[in-house]
């Protein structure tokens, strides 16, 4: 069978060889149906190890799981079908494989790849190649754009060509991990793995779609329901009932309330706890320690999640808040999945309107995926915001000069302390923006090094890094770099007032950078402006006597502060 296929492959190769680079075929890469299927961003992936076609027979296994019949059934073409002259998809793939203008070499790789697929599957390779490519191609990418001081993350849909190109690049990248010395052989194995649902490239597509969905959901929540002037109020009102409190704990409670309200339309009631000691925020801080252990022993996380609540309570009463909260989220998700009409009763659009995306008619995410998205949002959006606010507030309170300049700026725009302070105006205040940047810089976001994989051989800072090496760097190295931020440990909002402040902003990596960067960046910026702006215009806070002049921290997942910022005297300003 292989020998019968070979002439066809040769023909493809020779046709490709004869073609010049400029003769891009005008035909579409995929049919309309394939195109529409690929655009179905929200479609649930087929379970790992299964073919996407449920009706395919599963006998006569070849190559560890995929079946001759299953693959043959994917094609409605004749077994010895010859790829059409100048097949646009093969041409495009050849162009992407080509290095140093050697088209004939690339086309030989493509043609031999077809032979390898045929050898592995005993089926015509073209339908398999087509299926693998459009299965792996993303429909969207995430783009970041600067708008004033904020970096706005938006999902952007891709054209058929861009989508296919990205899919082929991911296939090529993932094929590096397959056994075999020749690219054609590795690529063939990767393509077969994609069709079987076992390729790492599929994970990349899922990750990209997930980022796009959540970024869209958060952006829409913020745009449709911008945090109004009330955001700063709960903390002010609660302060009025507490004489000496931890501001840090208060900020965490505000952040918790914002996430639960905006994302799930549920109030956390975090403010009603004495001294802001809300069990869930305390548990989230505790998780900071656990993460450092789980990172090296991931099975412990699964073991912990499987424990019944009563046992968690016995082992660690602080951590009991976690299963309790998961239970609340689980109930909400179950309720929505059982009766999607409950979404019509929420005060505003919440994360599930977008994650379930009912209006597009697409296949929604499953229950576990929804629960995990919800838990990640709460975990990621609480302590980070709390830390940045605490860092900024501490330095403003500890430094009379900074406090005076900030107050002057706020009072200049809002002479009446009871006036509403809309986000759009707060964002334009240069000194407040400087205070926030310094808060983000010195609280760092995450302080544990975030791992990335070098997809190619590269050089980093003069060091040769072979491809597939796991590399990571902590944000602290950038934020404490004296070449970028002179006197890096000093809280100096003034450094953000110069002409080069937008260049400087490029060195703030608190939200990380790239595809895996923070999805809540828009919401976080809105919170920081509203919380700090309202607090310093509407309240008069004084640090507890003898408070430390420095906020010391330990490097866990996020920074863990040794000393809480305690405020003693407060008063709400009137008029």
Q: Which residues are annotated as a binding site?
A: 518
Shortest Å, Cβ 360 to ligand HEM: 21
Start-to-end CA span in the chain (Å): 88
Residue closest to ligand HEM when measured from CB atoms = 520
Figure out which of the listed residues 381, 434, 493, 559 binds ligand HEM, where binding follows CB under 6 A: 381
> Helices then strands (H, E): number in the chain?
23, 13
308, two tokens? 């019944």
Annotated binding-site positions for heme: 518
Question: Smaller CB distance to ligand HEM: residue 56 or 154?
Answer: 154
405 CB neighbour count, 10 Å cutoff = 18
Of 176-184, 192-200, 429-437, 519-527, the window that binds ligand HEM (rule: CB under 6 A) is: 519-527
Question: Smaller CB distance to ligand HEM: residue 357 or 517?
Answer: 517
Of 51-59, 73-81, 374-382, 416-424, the window that binds ligand HEM (rule: CB under 6 A) is: 374-382
Task: Tell me which H or E stretch contains 269.
Answer: none
Strand partners, 555: 559
CA gap 142, 216 in Å, rounded: 9
Instruction: Locate all alpha helices (DSSP H) within 183-320, ordered by sequence.
Output: 183-195, 200-224, 233-239, 247-264, 279-294, 299-306, 309-315
Of 129-137, 170-178, 363-371, 379-387, the window that binds ligand HEM (rule: CB under 6 A) is: 379-387
CA 51 to mean position of chain CA atoms = 28
Q: Which residues, 281 to 310, sit near ligand HEM by CB under 6 A?
A: none
Shortest Å, Cβ 511 to ligand HEM: 5
- CB environment 432-461: b (16+ within 10 A), e (fewer): bbbbbbbbbbbbbbbbbebebeeeeeeeee
Of 412-420, 422-430, 445-453, 567-575, the window that binds ligand HEM (rule: CB under 6 A) is: 445-453
CA gap 436, 451 in Å, rounded: 26
Question: Smaller CB distance to ligand HEM: residue 136 or 519?
Answer: 519
CA 212 to mean position of chain CA atoms = 8
Shortest Å, Cβ 78 to ligand HEM: 45
Figure out which of the listed residues 94, 246, 268, 384 binds ligand HEM, where binding follows CB under 6 A: 384
Figure out which of the listed residues 446, 535, 541, 565 binds ligand HEM, where binding follows CB under 6 A: 446
21 CB neighbour count, 10 Å cutoff = 11
Figure out which of the listed residues 12, 38, 142, 385 binds ligand HEM, where binding follows CB under 6 A: 385
Indicate the length of the chain as a whole number: 575
Is residue 254 within the footprint of ligand HEM (CB under 6 A)? Answer: no
Is residue 320 within the footprint of ligand HEM (CB under 6 A)? Answer: no
Is residue 388 within the footprint of ligand HEM (CB under 6 A)? Answer: yes
331, two tokens? 């109930």
Of 25-33, 280-288, 383-391, 562-570, the window that binds ligand HEM (rule: CB under 6 A) is: 383-391
Contact 425, 374 (CB under 8 A): no
Is residue 520 within the footprint of ligand HEM (CB under 6 A)? Answer: yes
CA gap 495, 438 in Å, rounded: 9
Residue 336 backbone dihedrals phi, psi, to 5 degrees: -70, -40
Is residue 436 within the footprint of ligand HEM (CB under 6 A)? Answer: no
CA gap 525, 149 in Å, rounded: 9
Figure out which of the listed residues 129, 253, 336, 380 binds ligand HEM, where binding follows CB under 6 A: 380
State the residues that interact with ligand HEM by CB under 6 A. Answer: 211, 214, 259, 376-377, 380-381, 384-385, 388, 445-446, 450, 510-512, 516-520, 523-524
């Amino acid at each position: 069978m292989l020998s019968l296929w070979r002439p066809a492959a040769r023909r493809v190769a020779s046709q490709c060889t004869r073609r010049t680079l400029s003769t891009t075929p005008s035909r579409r890469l995929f049919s309309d149906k394939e195109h529409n299927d690929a655009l179905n961003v929200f479609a649930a992936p087929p379970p790992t190890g299964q073919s996407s076609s449920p009706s395919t027979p599963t006998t006569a296994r070849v190559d560890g799981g995929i079946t001759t019949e299953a693959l043959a059934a994917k094609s409605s073409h004749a077994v010895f079908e010859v790829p059409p002259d100048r097949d646009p998809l093969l041409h495009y793939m050849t162009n992407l494989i080509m290095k140093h203008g050697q088209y004939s070499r690339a086309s030989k790789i493509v043609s031999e790849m077809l032979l390898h697929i045929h050898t592995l599957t005993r089926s015509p390779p073209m339908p398999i190649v087509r299926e693998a490519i459009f299965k792996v191609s993303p429909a969207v990418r995430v783009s970041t754009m600067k708008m004033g001081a904020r970096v706005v993350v938006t999902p952007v849909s891709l054209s058929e060509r861009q989508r296919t190109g990205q899919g082929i690049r991911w296939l090529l990248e993932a094929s590096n991990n397959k056994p075999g010395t020749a690219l054609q052989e590795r690529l063939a194995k990767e393509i077969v793995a994609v069709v079987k649902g076992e390729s790492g490239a599929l994970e990349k597509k899922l990750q990209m779609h997930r980022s796009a969905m959540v970024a869209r959901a958060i952006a829409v929540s913020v745009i449709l329901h911008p945090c109004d002037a009330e955001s700063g109020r709960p903390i002010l009102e609660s302060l009025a009932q507490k004489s000496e409190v931890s501001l840090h704990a208060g900020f965490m409670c505000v952040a918790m309330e914002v996430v639960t309200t905006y994302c799930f339309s549920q109030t956390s009631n975090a403010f009603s706890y004495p001294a802001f000691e809300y069990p869930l925020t305390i548990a989230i801080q505790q998780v900071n320690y656990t993460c450092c252990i789980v990172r090296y022993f991931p099975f412990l996380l699964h073991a912990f999640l499987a424990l019944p609540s009563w046992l968690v309570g016995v082992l660690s009463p602080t951590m009991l808040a976690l299963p309790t909260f998961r239970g609340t989220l689980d109930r909400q998700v179950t309720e929505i999945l059982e009766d999607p009409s409950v979404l019509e009763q929420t005060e505003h659009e919440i994360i599930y309107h977008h994650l379930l995306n009912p209006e597009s008619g697409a296949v929604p995410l499953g229950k576990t995926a929804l629960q995990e998205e919800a838990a990640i949002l709460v975990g990621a959006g609480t302590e980070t915001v709390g830390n940045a606010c605490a860092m900024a507030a501490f330095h403003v309170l500890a430094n009379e000069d900074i406090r005076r300049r900030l107050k002057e700026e706020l009072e200049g725009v809002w002479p009446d302390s009871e006036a509403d302070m809309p986000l759009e105006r707060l964002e334009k205040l240069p000194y407040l923006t400087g205070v926030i940047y310094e808060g983000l810089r010195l609280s760092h976001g995450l302080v544990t090094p975030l791992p990335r994989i070098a997809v190619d051989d590269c050089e980093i800072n003069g060091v040769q890094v072979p491809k597939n090496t796991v590399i990571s760097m902590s944000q602290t190295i950038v934020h404490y770099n004296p070449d970028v931020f002179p006197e890096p440990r000093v809280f100096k909002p003034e450094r953000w007032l110069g002409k080069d402040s937008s260049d400087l902003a490029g060195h703030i990596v608190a939200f990380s950078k790239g595809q895996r960067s923070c999805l809540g960046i828009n919401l976080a910026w809105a919170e920081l402006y509203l919380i700090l702006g309202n607090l310093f215009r509407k309240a008069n806070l004084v640090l507890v006597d003898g408070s430390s002049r420095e906020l010391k921290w330990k490097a866990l997942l996020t920074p863990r502060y040794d000393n809480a910022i305690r405020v003693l005297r407060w008063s709400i300003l009137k008029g």
